[in-house]
Amino acid sequence: MRFILAALIVIPVLSSDVRAQTFSDNFNRPDGSVGNGWSPYGAGAALAGGELRTIGSPGLGGGVVRSLSVAFPLSFSFDFSTADPANGGWFIAFNAVSTLVPGPAMAQVSFFQFAGSRNVYRNINDPTEASPNLPEPIPGWENYGSAPAHIRGHVNADLSSVITITYADSVQVTASWAATAPGPIGAALVLGNSSAYFGPHFFDNLLVTSTCQTTPCITSPPDGASPQSSFCGTFGN
């Protein structure tokens, strides 16, 4: 089979199964500017020791944003640790319109948590929905610390969602949400802290796997990539 310019030769049709589109960043680059298409926002972020080091600030938070359009359903995961356990929390937004500092980014959907023992929020351009929506600190839930916890989530096409947090001591807790209508749809991925406190707050091993809704599908490079070349090596299925 061949792809090309509105071509003329009749060829077999591609299968219609869905395709994966993956973006990952382990932040294993030299200390300093984040690179890889990311830009800092809010109180700032930089690479330090192979991790993304973000700074919190009242009304600002801090983190990074990059161009990345994703399709749902998608799965995501990252590691999170903090120097301020009582106030260390994370924030991630998909198809964000902007970072919209201060406050949560306007996005198709975003999630955040102010500390490990507190509720997790799904934000669809307000109102936010808490899960498990229990009094805080939630029994059995733990604050984050210097050892990384693993946050893993899955968002369906109807935006019903599940997030599983695995704390550094292997204790697991889960938050979930029902289907809902999307927020305003942009084209940015936002990752940062949700903290009014300096921290610093650390991220590592980000992985976003979304479903390419099309066949054919370009799976690499990601939208917004910056090849150091006049060429771009692409692949897909």
Partner 1 sequence: MLVDGSPIGSSGVVVDSEGNWEALAYLFGAPAPVIRVQDRSTTALSNQITVHPQASFSLGPPVPANLLTAVLPLRHADILVIASTISPQHVLYGPSYTHTALYLGGDGNGTPLISEAIPGSDPSAQTYGQVRSLPLESSTVWTEANRMSGWHASTALTGSTRDAIVAWAKTVAPTPPASLSGLPYWNVSTLLNEVDGADALLVAFGGTITSRFTAFLNVLNSAKNSTTSFICSTLVWRAYYEGSGHALDISSPNNMTAAPGSILGSLPSSFLGLFIQELDPVLVVPQTFVTSPKLSQIF
Note the residues at the interface with partner 1 (CB under 8 A): 1-15, 21, 36-37, 67, 69, 71, 212-218, 220-237
CB of 110 to partner 1, least distance (A): 22
Omega into 73 within 30° of 0, i.e. cis?
A: yes
What is the distance between the alpha carbons of residues 63 and 34, in angstroms, rounded to a whole number? 10
Of 160 and 211, the one with the shorter C-beta distance to partner 1 is 211
Amino acid at 230: S
Of 49 and 227, the one with the shorter C-beta distance to partner 1 is 227
Which phi and psi angles does 133 have, rounded to 5°? 60, 50
Of 156 and 234, the one with the shorter C-beta distance to partner 1 is 234
Query: Which candidate, 202, 151, 201, places its Cα nearest to that of 172?
Result: 151
CB of 37 to partner 1, least distance (A): 7
CB of 171 to partner 1, least distance (A): 33
CB of 79 to partner 1, least distance (A): 19
Residue 194, phi-psi category: left (phi > 0), alpha (psi -120 to 50), beta (remainder) = alpha
189 neighbors 93 (Cβ within 8 angstroms): yes
Of 69 and 164, the one with the shorter C-beta distance to partner 1 is 69
Q: What is the 3-state secondary structure (H, E, C) of 191-204?
A: EEECCCCCCCEEEE
- In the chain, the N- to C-terminal Cα span, in Å, equals 11
Of 117 and 205, the one with the shorter C-beta distance to partner 1 is 205
CB of 29 to partner 1, least distance (A): 11
Tokens 């989530």, residue located: 153
Evaluated on CA atoms 54, 55, 61, 64, the torsion sign reads negative
Of 174 and 213, the one with the shorter C-beta distance to partner 1 is 213
CB of 66 to partner 1, least distance (A): 11
